[in-house]
Chain A
C-alpha cells in the first residue's frame, strides 16, 4: 500500500468517524447521567431525514441542521418522558423509538417528496461543503506531513471539525464544571444528588437534551455532508456502533475519540477490500470488517482490556426511597 492510499483511507476514516463521534458523545452524556440510550440510531435517522428535507426545501444546510437537532430533541424528549418521568424501561423505550424512526422517516419523506422514501439530492448551499484549511496548498511540499495535512486534516465539511472540537469540550464539561459533577453523580448514585437538594429529574432531562443535540448533529452530518440527502435507513447501524464505541471507550470522552476513529477506520477499510487483501495477503470478507467493532466491544466487555464499569445507576429509574 502506498502513502497516497493510506492517506485516502485515513481521510475516509475521519469522515466516517464523525457521525460515530457525535453519536458516541451523545450516548456518553445520556449514559453518564444514568439513562441508557439504545435509541441513538433512531435519533440520528430522524435528524438525517429532517435535515435532508429542510435543507432541500430552504436551500440552507444550516437550517437543515437546526431541523435535524429539533427532530432528534423530540425523540430525546419522548425517551425522557418514558424513562425518567414514567420510569419505564429504558431499553424498551429506546428500541421502540428506533422502530418509530425507521418507519416515520420513510413515511414523511415519501409524503413530502414522493421519491420512494428518500429526500431529493442536495447541492450547493444545501450541503456542508469541504473546507480547505489555511496553508493546505502551501504546505503540500513538506514531506509526509504536508500531504497528511492537505489530504486528511484539511478538506472536510464543517461538522467534522465540530465533532472533533466536541471531544475536549465534553471532557471539560464533565470534569471541570458543576453541571458535569452533578451529571456524573446522578449516573452513579442519584440518591446522593437528591439528598444534596438537586433535582435528579432535571439533570437527567438536561443530559438527554445534550444527547438530542449531538444526535441531531450526527444525523444532519449524514444527510447534508457525508451524503447529499436522506435515504431509507441511511444510518445503517451507526447508532449501535457508537454505543459499542462508548463501551470500548469506557464512557470517557477522549477515549471515545480514539474508539470512534478506530471503528471509523474499520468502516473505511470495509470500503476498500482490495487494499486489505493487498496488505494481509488474505481475502478478508467485508462482513468481517463490519463486525469488527462489535467483536472488539465484546472483548472489552469480557474484561480483556481492563474493566469497563458502566455508570452504577445506569438503566435504573430513580425512585425516592424513604
Chain B
C-alpha cells in the first residue's frame, strides 16, 4: 500500500573506516509500502549503509529520517524501536534454541518466560498464516533448513513489529525454490504495507522483485531508478562503471599444449548448496584465462577446488595426469607438488600468517623442499632467509627485510611476498585470485607484469578477478562466470565491458564457443 509517504530517507550519509571511505554522501529515499533494491558489487558499501541504518555503525555525517522524522540510531535497540528489522546474510540465531525462544530473545515481556512464549506462539500462528511463513515454533534451529532459518529471522523482525525490513543478500544461501518462496513472502509483506529493502548483487532478483532500485559503486549511490523503467544492461553498466583501463604491455599469446583441462567440475559448500555447477574449460601453456564475474558466483570455489582447498567432483587433468578431487592427494600440498601454484583471493586468511616473518611466510607450502633442509632433522633457516632476501629484491618488496613480520608490510608488498613465493617455484599452472585487491597502483603494475612474464615463459595462468579492467587487460581469453556456471568465452580484443557486464548479470551471451 504505497501511499506516497517516505518510510526512510537518508541525507548525506558518510562513513569512513580509517583511510577507506565506505560510504560517501549517500542520499536516498524509500517510499512506504515498496520493495526497494540496492545493488552493487561486493565492497560497494551496501552492507555498511545498512549497518548504519541498523545501528551497528555510527555515520560520520548525515541524517536519517524514519517516517519523515529525523531519527538517531545509535544502537540496534533504537533501530528496532524505530520499526526497522534486519535479516542478516549470516543469520543471528541461537542454534540450540527453539524457534520460539529465538523469536522472543530480546523482546520478552516481563521477567518470566512463560507469558512471552505463549504470546509469541499465538503471534507466530497469525504471522505464518498471513504471510505463508510456515515454521514449527518448537523446532530447534539446528534442525531447520537454511530457508526455514531465514523465515525465523523474518519472523523475529515481524514479531518486533518491524515496518521496514532490510534483507542483506537473502538468496545467497537459498536454493532457487526457496528463493522463489522468499519473494512470494516479500510480496505478501509489501501488500500489508511493509517497506522492504533488498540488498543483492543479483540483477535477476532486482528485476523480478523490486519497485525501485538504487545502484551503489565504490561507496557512492550512483543512481536510483524505477525498476520498470530500467534494464539489466543499464544496471550492469551502472554497477560496474567505466573504469580507466590499466594498460599492460604484452605480446600476443603463443599458446602451446593444453596444461589444465577441467571437465564438469562441481563443488558444494558446507550447507550442501552447489556453488560450482559443472564447469569445463582448458588452459594452454603460455596463456592467461581470465574469469570475470561478480563476486560470489562460484569463482572462489573454482580456485579452492583447483588449489586443493575444497572437495569437488568432475575431472581435472594437469599435463595429461588426472588430479584427485577428494580424499588422498587432493590437498594443497599435493597440488603444489603437481606443479600448481596458488595466489589465494584472500591473502590475510589464506596467503599469509601476518604475525610470522616474511621468510617464514615464504617457506609456507614449500618447507619440505630439499633445498630448505639442513639435514634430516632441521630446516636450513639461513638458506631460507637468504632465499627470501633474493625473492624480495627480485619482486621489489619494500623493505626487503626477511625478518620483518608480514603484518608490517603494506598491502601491496604483502601481496608481492605471496606472488614471489608462488611464482618462484616455477609452476606449470598459476592460480591467481584478485591479485591486486587492496594493492596500490605501483604494485598493481608490477604484479601484472609478473603474471604476463610467467605467461611468456610458457606457463598457464588462471586469473580470477572482480575487476573487469584487470581481466580485460591481462587475459588472452575471458570466461564469464555466473551462478556457478561459465556463461561463455570471449576474446578480449572483441568484447567490451558492456557485453561482459551483461554476461556477469546472467544475461546469456550468444554463440561464440570456446
Give residues 183-215 of A contacting B (CB, 8 Å): 184-185, 188-189, 191-198
Residue of B nearest to A186 (CB): B94
Asked if B96 CB lies within 8 Å of chain A CBs, one says: yes
Partner of B96, one of A176, A178, A188, A196: A188
Task: List B contacts of A181 (CB < 8 A).
Answer: 101, 104-105, 108, 113
Give residues 5-55 of A contacting B (CB, 8 Å): none
> When the two chains form their complex, are residues B113 and A177 in contact, meaning their CB atoms are under 8 A apart?
yes
Complex-state Cα separation, A249 to B113, whole angstroms: 24
Q: Which of B75-83, B209-217, B430-438 contacts A (4 or more CB under 8 A)?
A: B75-83
> When the two chains form their complex, are residues B75 and A197 in contact, meaning their CB atoms are under 8 A apart?
yes
> When the two chains form their complex, are residues B106 and A182 in contact, meaning their CB atoms are under 8 A apart?
yes
> When the two chains form their complex, are residues B105 and A188 in contact, meaning their CB atoms are under 8 A apart?
no
Contact flags B327-356 to A (C-beta < 8 A → 1, else 0):
000000000000000000000000000000
B60 to A: closest C-beta gap in Å: 16
Asked if A320 CB lies within 8 Å of chain B CBs, one says: yes
Partner of A189, one of B48, B77, B95, B104: B95
Complex-state Cα separation, A176 to B101, whole angstroms: 11
Task: List A contacts of B156 (CB < 8 A).
Answer: 196
Asked if A312 CB lies within 8 Å of chain B CBs, one says: yes
Complex-state Cα separation, A185 to B112, whole angstroms: 16
Task: List A contacts of B54 (CB < 8 A).
Answer: 195
> When the two chains form their complex, are residues B112 and A177 in contact, meaning their CB atoms are under 8 A apart?
yes
Asked if B186 CB lies within 8 Å of chain A CBs, one says: no
Task: List B contacts of A322 (CB < 8 A).
Answer: 47-48, 51, 56
Residue of B nearest to A180 (CB): B113
Task: List B contacts of A198 (CB < 8 A).
Answer: 77, 105-106
Task: List B contacts of A185 (CB < 8 A).
Answer: 94, 97, 101, 105
The residue among B76, B105, B108, B116 with the most chain A CB atoms within 10 A of its own CB is B105
Asked if A99 CB lies within 8 Å of chain B CBs, one says: no
> When the two chains form their complex, are residues B111 and A196 in contact, meaning their CB atoms are under 8 A apart?
no
> When the two chains form their complex, are residues A197 and B80 in contact, meaning their CB atoms are under 8 A apart?
yes
Task: List A contacts of B92 (CB < 8 A).
Answer: 189, 191-192, 194-196
Residue of A nearest to B75 (CB): A197
Asked if A113 CB lies within 8 Å of chain B CBs, one says: no
Task: List B contacts of A189 (CB < 8 A).
Answer: 92-95
> When the two chains form their complex, are residues B112 and A196 in contact, meaning their CB atoms are under 8 A apart?
no
Residue of B nearest to A196 (CB): B106
Task: List A contacts of B114 (CB < 8 A).
Answer: 176
The residue among A178, A194, A197, A320 with the most chain B CB atoms within 10 A of its own CB is A197
B95 to A: closest C-beta gap in Å: 6
Residue of B nearest to A176 (CB): B113
> When the two chains form their complex, are residues A178 and B95 in contact, meaning their CB atoms are under 8 A apart?
no
Asked if B131 CB lies within 8 Å of chain A CBs, one says: no
Asked if A179 CB lies within 8 Å of chain B CBs, one says: yes
A174 to B: closest C-beta gap in Å: 10
B81 to A: closest C-beta gap in Å: 8
Partner of A177, one of B48, B56, B111: B111
Check A197/B77 contact, CB under 8 A, given A181-B105, A189-B94.
Answer: yes
Asked if B388 CB lies within 8 Å of chain A CBs, one says: no
> When the two chains form their complex, are residues B113 and A195 in contact, meaning their CB atoms are under 8 A apart?
no
Interface size, A (range): 20 to 34
> When the two chains form their complex, are residues B94 and A178 in contact, meaning their CB atoms are under 8 A apart?
no
> When the two chains form their complex, are residues A179 and B94 in contact, meaning their CB atoms are under 8 A apart?
no
The residue among B88, B110, B114 with the most chain A CB atoms within 10 A of its own CB is B88
Partner of B93, one of A180, A192, A197, A309: A192
> When the two chains form their complex, are residues A195 and B76 in contact, meaning their CB atoms are under 8 A apart?
yes
Complex-state Cα separation, A193 to B107, whole angstroms: 10
Give residues 120-148 of B contacting A (CB, 8 Å): none
Residue of B nearest to A189 (CB): B94
> When the two chains form their complex, are residues B76 and A196 in contact, meaning their CB atoms are under 8 A apart?
yes
Task: List A contacts of B76 (CB < 8 A).
Answer: 194-197
Residue of B nearest to A322 (CB): B51
Partner of A182, one of B47, B96, B105: B105
A146 to B: closest C-beta gap in Å: 40
Partner of B105, one of A175, A177, A193, A312: A193
Residue of A nearest to B116 (CB): A178
Task: List A contacts of B77 (CB < 8 A).
Answer: 197-198
Asked if B361 CB lies within 8 Å of chain A CBs, one says: no
Residue of B nearest to A187 (CB): B94
> When the two chains form their complex, are residues B97 and A178 in contact, meaning their CB atoms are under 8 A apart?
no
Complex-state Cα separation, A296 to B92, whole angstroms: 36
Residue of B nearest to A312 (CB): B95
Task: List B contacts of A197 (CB < 8 A).
Answer: 75-77, 79-80, 106
Contact flags B462-490 to A (C-beta < 8 A → 1, else 0):
00000000000000000000000000000
> When the two chains form their complex, are residues A188 and B94 in contact, meaning their CB atoms are under 8 A apart?
yes
Asked if B86 CB lies within 8 Å of chain A CBs, one says: yes
A200 to B: closest C-beta gap in Å: 11
B44 to A: closest C-beta gap in Å: 14
Task: List A contacts of B79 (CB < 8 A).
Answer: 197
B472 to A: closest C-beta gap in Å: 32
> When the two chains form their complex, are residues A196 and B105 in contact, meaning their CB atoms are under 8 A apart?
yes
Asked if B102 CB lies within 8 Å of chain A CBs, one says: yes
Partner of B110, one of A178, A184, A188, A309: A178
B388 to A: closest C-beta gap in Å: 31
Task: List B contacts of A176 (CB < 8 A).
Answer: 112-114
Residue of A nearest to B56 (CB): A322
Task: List A contacts of B101 (CB < 8 A).
Answer: 181, 185
Complex-state Cα separation, A198 to B55, whole angstroms: 13
> When the two chains form their complex, are residues A192 and B96 in contact, meaning their CB atoms are under 8 A apart?
no
Residue of B nearest to A197 (CB): B77
Task: List B contacts of A312 (CB < 8 A).
Answer: 95-96
Complex-state Cα separation, A181 to B56, whole angstroms: 23
The residue among B77, B107, B110, B113 with the most chain A CB atoms within 10 A of its own CB is B113
> When the two chains form their complex, are residues B111 and A178 in contact, meaning their CB atoms are under 8 A apart?
yes
Complex-state Cα separation, A179 to B108, whole angstroms: 10
Complex-state Cα separation, A185 to B101, whole angstroms: 9
Task: List B contacts of A180 (CB < 8 A).
Answer: 113
Complex-state Cα separation, A197 to B75, whole angstroms: 7
Task: List A contacts of B107 (CB < 8 A).
Answer: 196
Contact flags A298-322 to B (C-beta < 8 A → 1, else 0):
0000000000010010000000101
> When the two chains form their complex, are residues B56 and A320 in contact, meaning their CB atoms are under 8 A apart?
yes
Complex-state Cα separation, A181 to B120, whole angstroms: 15
Residue of A nearest to B57 (CB): A322
Residue of B nearest to A198 (CB): B106
- Chain A residues within 8 Å of B, Cβ to Cβ: 175-182, 184-185, 188-189, 191-198, 309, 312, 320, 322
A-B pairs with beta carbons under 8 Å apart, 19 shown: A176-B112, A177-B112, A178-B108, A178-B111, A181-B101, A181-B108, A184-B94, A184-B97, A185-B97, A188-B95, A189-B94, A192-B93, A192-B94, A192-B102, A198-B106, A309-B96, A320-B56, A322-B47, A322-B56
- Chain B residues within 8 Å of A, Cβ to Cβ: 47-48, 51, 54, 56, 75-77, 79-80, 86, 88, 92-97, 101-102, 104-108, 110-114, 116, 156
Known pairs A177-B112, A178-B112, A188-B97; list 13 more (Cβ under 8 Å).
A176-B114, A178-B113, A178-B116, A185-B97, A189-B94, A192-B102, A194-B76, A196-B76, A196-B107, A197-B76, A197-B77, A309-B96, A312-B96
Closest 3 CB pairs of A and B: A196-B106, A197-B77, A192-B92
